[in-house]
Amino acid sequence: MPQVMVVARNFMDMVAALPAAKLDMLYDSAFICEAVLRSLPPLAKKYALQMLYVSAPVAAAAMEEWVLDEYAAKHRVAIDRLLQLRVFVEVRDRRKEVSYKMNQKFQGNMQKYLVDGGSLPREPIPSSVTARLPTLAELEAFALEQWECFLLQLINSSQVERGTSFSSSMMRTFQRGLLSSRDGEAPRLTENGFQFLLMETNAQLWYIMREYISSSEERGVDPTELISFLLELSFHTLGEAYSLNTLTDVQRNAIRDLAELGLVKLQQGFVVVETNFRMYAYSTSRLHCEILRLFSRVEYQLPNLIVGSITKESLYGAFENGITAEQIISFLQQNAHPRVADKIPAVPENVTDQIRLWETDRNRVDMTLSHLYEDFPSKDMFDQCCDYARDHGCLLWEDAKKMRLIVRVEFHPEMREFLRRLR
């Protein structure tokens, strides 16, 4: 592969380059602390864990004795990395002797994380609510298609088979060295842009992400918030679905930008439910329409709008298929339109209450075919029959005072044979 001049730095180098105050802000999150700990070289990771419950500064000279002389170079690399990321803070006493102390925020969060165990930044949407999700193979195919589309548009937008227009934030990223444009002319690749195309995919990706973060302040976005969110995403489970409703505006915009690069796949579809049980779903997805048909009556479908209503009959059909009222309500809440998602409740209360009531009505009586036995000649025979039916898991009801019992209908032949033997 030809030598290229564009160098994509390590992601943690960008974290280390943040001002001390902003780096400390990152350590407010236990997940960021864990991500930083994971990124450390093995020896630095060992030092961080060793100092986790040490509150007093440790002299630099004393720490040098923790390793053999032959590992002195690795020791210096480990200490430098810990200082760059402010996991360790340098302290000097009156005699100007150097000691190292662990960052208090990092130390406190990691102690809590190790003792209490962390919870996920965001819980994935249950599979019962999301219905079918793309498989890992489909996600990989989507990512490759998006990335190829991005590279083709970078070379020549006319080569892209399907129209794709990148967001203004992505275009600013490309124009920071990859593209140049003159008045009245279409953007063209720069020398660095051509070199970028010769890089491996991982290096290309890191370069784009570095420039995307570096240009964030031009878009009015705090790079600390962006880095924090990107690190948080590393703890999400591949292939699981997560709701956009739990994200801030900055995070939503970042997700849309990442989707353009194929790093995230958006399952678009916003639902608005009215108090009269009318439902409007803003979606172009055929799958989304079929999901709505599971529990509602779809009346008509436009190119980007599905109109339907939630009826007793449509819900009974959902209940018969094993879908619960809570799953339906959760789906409507998770997919609520952004304009109503922030309201409490996102779905009208009269609708959610009625959905639960219809489920209760359906489950109020459970029909089970059975057989009644009565007029036993003795209490002893009655007890033996009860025990026999109970042992086989077929006893539905018994009345010891009047010596009556009910068993499942399929158990009747065995019970009749048992009674004949007793007589």
Identify the domain containing residue 99 by its residue range.
11-116
Task: Please check whether residues 217 and 282 belong to one and the same domain.
Answer: no
Residue 34 lies in a domain: yes
Residues 164 and 179 in one domain: yes
Mean pLDDT of 380-391: 92
Question: Is 2 inside any structural domain?
Answer: no
Number of domains in the chain: 4
Residues 358 and 374 grouped into a single domain: no
129 found inside a domain: no
Residues 351 and 324 both lie in one domain: yes
Q: Are residues 186 and 275 in the same domain?
A: no
Whole-angstrom distance, CA of residue 123 vs CA of residue 334: 12
Final residue in a domain of this structure, among 363, 380, 407: 363
| Domain-embedded: residue 121 | no
Q: Which of 48-62, 161-175, 209-223 has the weakest average pLDDT?
A: 161-175
Of 338, 328, 343, 326, which Cα lies nearest the Cα of 282? 338
Cβ-contact 356, 310 below 8 angstroms: no
Give the confidence band of 1 by pLDDT, cuts at 50, 70, 90: very low
Same domain, 186 and 241: yes
Is the residue at 32 inside a domain? Answer: yes
Nearest to 28 by CA among 82, 108, 87, 93: 108
Say whether both 68 and 17 belong to one domain: yes
Percent of the chain with pLDDT over 90: 32
235 with 349, same domain: the answer is no
- SS3 of the chain: helix, strand, coil, percent, to 5: 55, 10, 35
Q: Is the pLDDT of residue 303 over 80?
A: no
216 and 180 within one domain = yes
Inside any domain, residue 390: yes
Lowest mean pLDDT among 145-159, 328-342, 357-371: 145-159
What pLDDT is attached to residue 414? 92
Q: Is residue 5 part of a domain?
A: no
* Residues 257, 173 share a domain: yes
Does 352 score more than 90 pLDDT?
A: yes
Least confident of 179-183, 258-262, 390-394: 179-183
Looking at the fold, whether 378 and 358 belong to one and the same domain comes out as no
Beta bridge partners of 373: 405
Q: Which of residues 261, 283, 314 is at a domain's end? A: 261
Query: What pLDDT is stored for residue 113 in this prediction?
Result: 85
Distance of CA 399 to the CA centre of its chain: 53
Among 60-64, 90-94, 179-183, the minimum mean pLDDT is found in 179-183
pLDDT, mean over the chain: 83
Q: Where are the beta strands (DSSP E) in 129-268?
A: 179-180, 188-189
